[in-house]
Amino acid sequence: MATNDASTTNRLAVTFASCQTANRAALIGYLTAFDPDEEQSFERLCAACEGGLDVLELGVPFSDPTADGPVIQEAMVRALQSGATLDGVLRLAGRLRDRFADLPIVLFGYANPLLRRPIATVVELLENAGIDGLLVVDLPPEHNVELRQAAAARGISWVGLCAPTTPPARAARVMADATGFVYGVSLTGVTGSALDTNSPELRTYIDGLCTHAQTPVAIGFGIKHAEQVRALAPMVDGIVVGSELVRASLRSSDDLRAKVRELANACRRGD
């Protein structure tokens, strides 16, 4: 069984530091677990990791993914129809951990699938699956303390989520709670929306996050193309791509691997 041990509990910190030394932003790739079923999902996830992901964001399928756009919503429908459960997702994560010992895996999900069981039980399962970080998009600071602290006791980092509409005082609280990285939502919309990387408002927003965060800052939502990645890489520690990877995975594992490689190359600063 895959587990976190003393030598691997800081995979996220090690990866961000390594990317900084290499003068590149970390490529954080999202894919929905069990899309379209466990075995095909495992094949696609392996292809993405082999293509050069620095961090894997593994999505837990949920029936009401309010933060996600149509591409990821459809992926979650396919996954749920194939019988996806939290236990199944963690089994898949454990298989990935056994194959990619040093790759950070962040579990991305909604509160409902996680909080149906006692928190102590859930975080033990996460640790046993080799999960490095937890991002729960609909669990605000007022309600995340018990899960966040229980995860921390198991060596699992908490990823904070800020949006352009987050008031400064609330953003400060989110950033103070974050231990893995701060995920800056790049726009006021759902995943897969159009993003203008030349927007002065976006640059001001990113500057604010990087100035106040005590952890690495990653930016996501609406990032699809290598040109966008090249524009953002000098400004942040990490870049999150989701919907575009899901689209590539629908074509073939080879297309997914190639897309990840293209985006990873674009993360190099100064190219």
Catalytic residue numbers, as ranges: 57, 68
Question: C-alpha distances in angstroms, 127 versus 31, 59, 66, 106, 165?
Answer: 20, 16, 27, 11, 33
CA distance linking residue 48 with residue 53, whole number of Å: 6
- The arrangement of strands across the sheet holding 157-158 comes to 157-158, 133-136, 105-109, 55-59, 26-32, 238-241, 217-220, 182-185, 160-162
Strand partners, 239: 27, 219
Pair of tokens at residue 97: 């951990």
Both tokens assigned to 263 = 């985006």
SS3 state at 166: coil
